[in-house]
Amino acid sequence: MKRALITGIRGQDGAYLAKLLLEKGYEVYGADRRSGDSSNWRLKELGIEKYVKVIYMDLLELTNILRVIKEVQPDEVYNLAAQSFVQASFEQPILTAEVDAIGVLRLLEALRFYKSDAKFYQASTSEMFGKVQEVPQKETTPFYPRSPYAVAKLFGHWITVNYRESYNMFACSGILFNHESPLRGLEFVTRKITYTLARIKYGLEDKLILGNLDAKRDWGYAPEYVEVMWLMLQQDTPDDYVIATGETHTVREFVEKAAEIAGFQIEWEGEGINTKGIDKKTGKIIIEVSPKFYRPAEVDILIGDYSKAKTKLGWKPKIKFEELVRIMMEADLKRIEKAKQ
C-alpha cells in the first residue's frame, strides 16, 4: 500500500486529492496546521473524514516538518498548503512568503534528509505568469508575478526545479490555472458569487459586492485538476506542466451565467466602480462594485495551453465554463435552501 502525505488537507484541493488517493488504495496522511477552524467540512462533505490520518504540521516550523517526514516516511508528498488568497498577500506579504516560498524549501530540506526518494508535487500557479507576456500561457512563457503571493510561489516553483536538478529528487511542479468547485473557499470570486446570489435568492442578503469585473480567468473544475497532480507523480521522469482549460472568461460573464441559473435577469448600468447590476424582474440593484475588492496590481488575463499535459500525460479537461458555473450555482442554491428549512 502506497503512503501519501498531503499538506493543506483542509483546503479545496486537499479534500479532493485525499478522496482520489483513498479510492486508489493509498494510505493518506493529511497535514493540518491546527488553526481555529477544526470543522473539517470539506472532508465530511466528501464522506472521507474517518479515513484520512490527520497529523499536525505547519509549514512555518522546520522541526515539526522534520519529525513528520521522519515518522510518516511517505512515498508521495503533495504540497498543497499555502496562504492561497492573492488579495490577502498584499496585506500579509511576509507571512505569505514564509509559507508559500520558504515553507516549500523547509519541506524539501526535510525530504532531502529523511526521505529523499519520495516523489514530490508542488502546487504552482498561473499567477506566476502575471502581467501578460504571451497568450495563451505555456510552460516556456516568461514569468512576471504581480502579487506577493505570486512572487512567493515563483520561489516555490524554482526551488522545486532546483532540488530536482541538484539532488536528483523526483520533484514536479504543476502550474495550475484557477480551478473551482462547490468546495471552493468563500473568499474566492467564483464561490463568493454563487454563495451570495443563492443567499439573495432566498432573501438572506441584498447585494453582491465585487471588485474588478473585467479580469479574465481560465476556470476549470477542481476534481479533474487533482487527478493530474497524481498523474505527474506516476511518470518515469519528473517534469513541470501547465494545467488549464484553454478558455478564458471575465468575472462579469461568471456573474451573468450564475445569475441566469439562479433565476435573475441582470441588466448592467454604469462603468468601473459605478457599475450596477439590476435584476430586471424586480428592478432591484443586486450587484455593486467597490474599490475595496480591487488589487494594487491586477493580473488582467489568464488562459492556459495544456498541450504538453495532453501529449505526455494524456490529460484533458472535461468540464468547461458553463457546466462549472452550473455545478457551483446549483450546489449553493441547494445548500441555502436546506439551511433555511
- Give catalytic residue positions: 125, 127, 149
Locate the DSSP E strands across 248-319.
249-250, 266-269, 276-279, 284-289
Distance CA 312, CA 26 (A): 24
Q: How far, in Å, CA of 139 to CA of 200, rounded?
A: 41
To 10 degrees, the CA torsion angle through 162, 153, 227, 245?
Answer: -120
Pattern 241-280, ligand NDP, x by CB under 6 A: ----------------------------------------
E strands present in the chain: 3-7, 27-32, 53-56, 76-79, 119-125, 171-176, 179-180, 208-210, 216-217, 220-221, 240-243, 249-250, 266-269, 276-279, 284-289
Q: Residues 125, 153: contact at Cβ < 8 Å?
A: yes
- Judged by beta carbon distances under 5 to 8 A according to partner kind, the member of ligand GDR, ligand NDP, none in contact with residue 11 is ligand NDP
- Selection from ligand NDP, ligand GDR, none that 10 binds (CB < 5 to 8 A by kind) is ligand NDP
Nearest by Cα to 110 from 118, 100, 99, 121: 118
8 scored as a contact of ligand NDP (CB under 6 A)? yes
With CB under 6 A as the contact rule, the residue among 122, 125, 181, 196 that binds ligand GDR is 125
Output the smallest distance, CB 216 to ligand GDR, in A.
8
For ligand NDP, give the closer residue by CB, 105 or 273: 105
Tell me if residue 235 falls in helix, strand or coil.
coil
**CB 299, CB 165: distance < 8 Å:** no
CB-CB neighbours of 258 under 10 Å? 24
152 forms part of the interface with ligand NDP (CB under 6 A): no
Q: Which residue bears the cell 530540506?
A: 109
Residue 176 near ligand NDP by CB under 6 A: yes
79 near ligand GDR (CB under 6 A): no
Site size with ligand NDP, rule: CB under 6 A: 24
Report in angstroms the alpha-carbon separations of 17 from 2, 30, 46, 223, 266.
14, 10, 11, 8, 36
Which among 7-15, 128-136, 255-263, 281-289 is the span making contact with ligand NDP, rule CB under 6 A? 7-15
Quick one: which H or E segment has residue 297?
Answer: none
CB under 6 A: which stretch of 56-64, 105-113, 196-204, 308-316 binds ligand NDP? 56-64
Q: Does 189 sit near ligand GDR (CB under 6 A)?
A: yes
Q: Does 93 bind ligand GDR (CB under 6 A)?
A: no
Beta carbon of residue 82, minimum distance to ligand NDP (angstroms, whole number): 3
First to last CA, the chain: 44
Here's the x/- map for ligand NDP, 73-112, by CB under 6 A: it reads as: -------xxxxx--------------x-------------
For ligand GDR, the binding residue among 64, 141, 173, 178 (CB under 6 A) is 178
The residue written with cell numbers 515539526 in the block is 64
Binding track, positions 204-233, relative to ligand GDR; x by CB under 6 A = ------xxx--x-x----------------
68 binds, among ligand NDP, ligand GDR, none (CB under 5 to 8 A by kind): none
Q: Summarize as ranges the residues that interact with ligand NDP (CB under 6 A).
A: 7-8, 10-14, 33, 35, 58-60, 80-84, 99, 123, 125, 176, 178-179, 185
Q: Summarize as ranges the residues that interact with ligand GDR (CB under 6 A).
A: 84, 86-87, 125-127, 177-178, 187-189, 192, 210-212, 215, 217, 251, 293, 295, 298
